[in-house]
A and B are shown apart, each in its own frame.
Chain A
């Protein structure tokens, strides 16, 4: 509850800071300080200090899992702001407002990570979506950004319509919006419940870009300003995933035989489409968009397995994926050319940046000694132990191998190709140090994943 209130408050503070303060550096510093405060109060809540106790009548429940997840999200956003907040200035003139919208989105993520009632889920998803439509279209002079925003908006509100129909049908079957009430089995299963569950599943699949509902993702991620793509593809995606797993864990656990196979098929389709299409991309930004679809497939394995193991796996996966992708995007934003050729000879010009980017790419590909490897390992292990379907973990393994090919293309370009143009890249020392710290963290989590997971229990 601490983080929820503070993030809303910070949003308002950022709005006013745009009027009062003229210096962009001051606005940025307030945002970063606010982010740290947000992380701090959330960790305090994990230790039992709640500043304001609000009785939400059981609609919101901050449990250990949700709080740890929020901490990861806030920490990633903190890193994101330190690395990339400077680049938001180039997008448009409304600098303070962009930061305010980011804080509002974090408020939405805090809601969806801890909902106990479908009302909160709906409001949370909308609080996430509406600012995202804006951030996608924030580069107003760029036609691509406008188009991406319109496309995202139309498809997003369409899927909200489907979600609401699902919620209405579930309400008709169960007479309540509480997930605990929906999970209760009394008498025969109503067809209304099944129809509602499917509609809800499809709309959630749309929001996290699971195939075959992924078609908007590459265009929107490609069209949006790169700084905001970084935010959308990492923090927001992980945030909606936690809603997904919570919904199926708490709301539909008793219907498991009914949805398990459908989730398995969605997972397989996502893994296949995401990984195979990513191989053929020419732009690194678009490749990362498809890679985010592929990674969504791995995260969906945790919904499929649905066990304590898989929840641990999702926590680790969210952390590994967010940190690595934020790092890559932070470097990508500085580049002038987003194609693979733009990375040619990068290792000679910027040896340090090339080295950390390599670590991030290795982590995304799931090479041992990186966080990504442990995350994939937890996911596939959970799927192995908790399913009757052996082909799904095997497919995931094969697809992890396929993913190596497109991540290595970037490494190959950086180290084994010669650049034709001299580098124009300028980075501050602070940027360098943060990136190195981030890379160190990725390696550290890859060796000792329990550093993170221990928080779940103590």
Chain B
């Protein structure tokens, strides 16, 4: 066991635990906070994989912008433990079972042992800002411009929906 493996192992434990807490917590605000922990630990994974740009963007966009928006909406609606609707326990059990069996099926299908490739950690320069930027604005410039249409339509949409009539 070297230091990288210990680091990745503990990050994975944090990721899975906090993701579980998101779906277990009764209080929606706690769910949001646990989700932020999940995002930070995933950013940790990115740093280990030397994908620095994505690690930063993940924190800025997800933990920074998206989760603040979520938190805002939850605070605005004043949702808390008491107002939280609960499914009955049989439906919950059915949900857990179906999710669990989906995981089992996929893992069993992929567990053939012939995927022997390794993921490069702590090295490689493809995750650096310079490399990604050059690629994004040369090969991927058309999808990049197209995503602006997506943003525009989302913006128009949010205004149409949000405006009072």
B139 interfacial contact with A, CB 8 Å: yes
Q: A134-B160, A191-B112, A195-B106 are in contact. Are A54 and B153 (CB under 8 A)?
A: no
Which residues of chain B from 131 to 165 have a CB within 8 Å of any chain A CB?
Answer: 139-140, 142-143, 146-147, 149-150, 152-154, 156-157, 159-161, 163, 165
Choose, from A100-108, A381-389, A409-417, the stretch at the interface: A100-108
Contact between B142 and A57, CB atoms less than 8 A apart: yes
Indicate which residue in A93, A137, A191 contacts B109 across the interface (CB closer than 8 Å).
Answer: A191
Contact of A100 with B146 in the complex, beta carbons under 8 Å: no
Residue of A nearest to B164 (CB): A140
Give the size range of A's interface with the partner.
Answer: 35 or more
Q: Does more than half of chain B's interface fall in helix, strand or loop, or is it mixed?
A: helix
**B interface residues with partner A (beta carbon < 8 Å):** 106, 109-110, 112, 114-115, 139-140, 142-143, 146-147, 149-150, 152-154, 156-157, 159-161, 163, 165
From B115, B146, B161, B165, A111 is in contact (CB under 8 Å) with: B146
A181 to chain B, nearest CB (A): 14
Q: Measured between alpha carbons, how far is A212 from B157 in the docked complex, in Å?
A: 30
Minimal Cβ-Cβ distance residue in B for A137: B161
Which residues on the B side are within 8 Å of A119 (C-beta)? 140, 143
With A107-B149, A120-B146 known as contacts, the answer to whether A140 contacts B109 (CB < 8 A) is no
Q: Give the contacting residue for B142; candidates A8, A56, A97; CB below 8 A.
A: A56
Known: A137-B161, A191-B109. A101 touches B156 (CB 8 A): yes
Q: Which residues of B contact A140 (CB under 8 A)?
A: 161, 165
How far apart are A266's CB and chain B's nearest CB, in angstroms? 18
Q: Point out the residue from A93, A120, A134, A141 that lies within 8 Å of B143, measured CB to CB.
A: A120
Q: Does A219 contact B (CB under 8 A)?
A: no
Whether A195 lies near B157 (C-beta < 8 A) is no
Q: How far is A262 from B116 in the complex, measured between Cα atoms in Å?
A: 30
Q: Are B156 and A123 in contact (CB under 8 A)?
A: no
Q: Could you mark each residue 90-128 of chain A with 1 if its beta carbon is under 8 Å from any beta carbon of chain B, else 0?
A: 001110011011001001100100000101100100110
Nearest CB in chain B: distance from A125 CB, A:
10
Q: How far is the CB of A90 from chain B (nearest CB, A)?
A: 13
Contact with B along A119-148 (1 / 0, CB 8 A): 110010011001101100110110000000
Q: Are B161 and A57 in contact (CB-based, < 8 A)?
A: no
Given A137-B161, A195-B109, residue A130 in contact with residue B153 (CB < 8 A): yes
Known interface pairs A59-B143, A120-B143, A192-B115. Does A101 touch B161 (Cβ–Cβ under 8 Å)? Answer: no
